[in-house]
Structure 1
Amino acid sequence: MSFLILIHELSDINQKMICQRKPIIASLLSVIPGLGQIYNGELGKAVLFLMLDLLVPIVFGLTGLLTKFYGYVVLAVFSICFILYRVIDGFLAAKKLNSYQLKPFNKLHIYLAYVAVIVVFRMIWDFSDFSGVQTYNIPTPSMQPTLQPGDRIAADLNYYNHNHIEAGDIVVFNSPQGGVWTFRVIGIPRDSIEIKDGKVIVNNILIETMPTKEYIADGVEAIEYEEKIHPNKTIKTLRYKEKRDDNTLSYGKMKVPDDEYFLMGDNRDNALDSRFIGTVKKEDILGRVVYSYWGNTVERININFLNK
């Protein structure tokens, strides 16, 4: 009699461990890599999906694909398709499970712990350490017309591991004022720099300038110029029609120290650059701006700044 009672109790427990999987819940949980699969009892698939979500971007970075706009696009498309695949997979798998035996990990606190681990990991994990690419938003007009407020750019953090910093490069750097800024290299170590009446003189040679068109910068009338930084590099700069600050028009002759660089904004009358903050140390230069991946207009997408 006691044995029959035990069997009956075990049967009741077993019935409680059987639960139908809900496809909608499974698909929603699948937005988080692997969670929907854990819900469906597919632990191996959950681990696979999580590893793919983490490793594919690293592979793109290590191969240098993310330093190209097309690489960024391919990764973005893959990420979207992968999310859709997980959602559909979670939905279809749950739909097949009419009678599902709950696993030890099918508990709410396990799901919450899984999500918490992923969130914390992404907070402390610096993807740029593996990818060699970091993205930034341009908030100010100091680099107009080359960079516009609202541009979202990618910088190659490994570029200067195998290339020299050259005049004309657009770089991202740790500003002494705090934060990461973006300016253009005008003077390299041991160059002499002087500014007279708004015109830049490098190594006693006046940089050639030629006005090209009128420009409106943040509601202010300006003139766009072409400047020949060196024989193989021509850039575009802005100067306001009305003089705004005498400090932007002149700068006493100085020699750029070793391992330091003189940086300027392309918007010459509206940039808090080396004329005000001094030269920037090589160790503070993080990388070179390579392309834009987003902007306020379609024309601001996929601009190659290596040629700007």
Structure 2
Amino acid sequence: MKPWMRANKGFLMFLLLFGVFRTAVADWNPIPSGSMRPNLLEGDVVFVNRLAFNLKVPLTNIVLQRLGEPERGDIVTFFSPKDGTRLIKRVIALPGDTLQMRDEHLTINGRPAQYTMLDSVPETVDHVGQLTAQHISESNTGNNGNDGHAHRIQVLAQLPALRSFGPVTVPADHYLMLGDNRDNSADSRYFGFVPRELLIGKAERILVSANIQDHWQPRLQRFGMKLE
């Protein structure tokens, strides 16, 4: 074994450094489900900046230093507080925020989010069939009363879903996450608040994309797309 290691020490060092880079600096995240539709599609691969929020000991959730603060509207990757599964969702509420949802409509710190209907499209849902998906622009209002981050969400009115909850207050060093596909997403409505140490990084743009339902045909128009 030792002669083999000596002969391949350069390659082994590359693997070690590559592993450290992926677990501490930057990473990529394939999108396996439709919970972030219409903004992220199955077959997208997104670039994740692991230094956006925390500097961690590689391969652990031990935070060495805070490097930045998540903002409302950020798309982030994190480990589920329920079972450790790696997930990607949108930050909806920050530490100290009080929010509630009533019939899909959010109110954060007493300020209702603004909603604008965009369009309706057909969408096939596994084990259900083809449904009508409504695309809506959601703008969360900041604490100062100015319009905050605007992004698209998707509503599938035909599906049973948790469309109302709260009011709840987000604890210190925790975040509330929701999927953009509001009626087809397992998120903080089901597993609770996400502790800061479970954050992995900020998803910033789509690296590559392929249509997994059409023989993995590349979606060239999505290559390099910045996330809203």
TM-score (norm 2): 0.78
1:193 corresponding residue in structure 2:
99
Cα distance change on mapping 1:162 and 1:200 into 2, 3 Å? same
Aligned residues, how many? Answer: 195
Name the amino acid aligned to 1:149.
E
Percent identity for Structure 1 against Structure 2: 25
Gaps of 5+ in 1: 1-108
The correspondence for 2:84, drawn from 178, 183, 191, is 178
1:10 corresponding residue in structure 2:
none
2:74 corresponding residue in structure 1:
169
Work out which of the two has the higher radius of gyration on C-alpha atoms and give 1 or 2.
Answer: 1
The 5 Å alignment of 1:269-284 reads 269-284=183-198
The correspondence for 1:262, drawn from 153, 172, 176, is 176
String of CA shifts for 1:189-234, please: whole Å, max 9, x gaps. Answer: 1111211112111112221111101123334311000001231411
2:213 corresponding residue in structure 1:
none
Name the amino acid aligned to 2:106.
V
The 5 Å alignment of 1:79-228 reads 114-115=7-8, 118=11, 122=15, 125-129=19-23, 132-160=25-53, 161-176=66-81, 177-218=83-124, 219-228=130-139
Q: Shift of residue 302 of structure 1?
A: 0.7
Whole-angstrom distance in 1 between the partners of 2:13 and 2:122: 45
String of CA shifts for 1:238-277, please: whole Å, max 9, x gaps. Answer: 00132x224x211121111011000000000011000000
String of CA shifts for 1:66-109, please: whole Å, max 9, x gaps. Answer: xxxxxxxxxxxxxxxxxxxxxxxxxxxxxxxxxxxxxxxxxxx9
**Secondary structure of 1:295 counterpart:** strand
Which of the two has greater strand per residue?
A: 2
TM-score (norm 1): 0.59
- Structure 2 residue 214 is the aligned partner of structure 1 residue 299: no
- Structure 2 residue 156 is the aligned partner of structure 1 residue 240: yes
Relative contact order (alpha carbons < 8 A, sep ≥ 6): 1 or 2 greater?
Answer: 2
- RMSD between superposed Cα atoms in Å: 2.2
Which of the two has greater helix per residue?
A: 1
Whole-angstrom distance in 2 between the partners of 1:295 and 1:151: 4
Q: Shift of residue 114 of structure 1?
A: 2.8
The correspondence for 1:250, drawn from 152, 160, 164, is 164
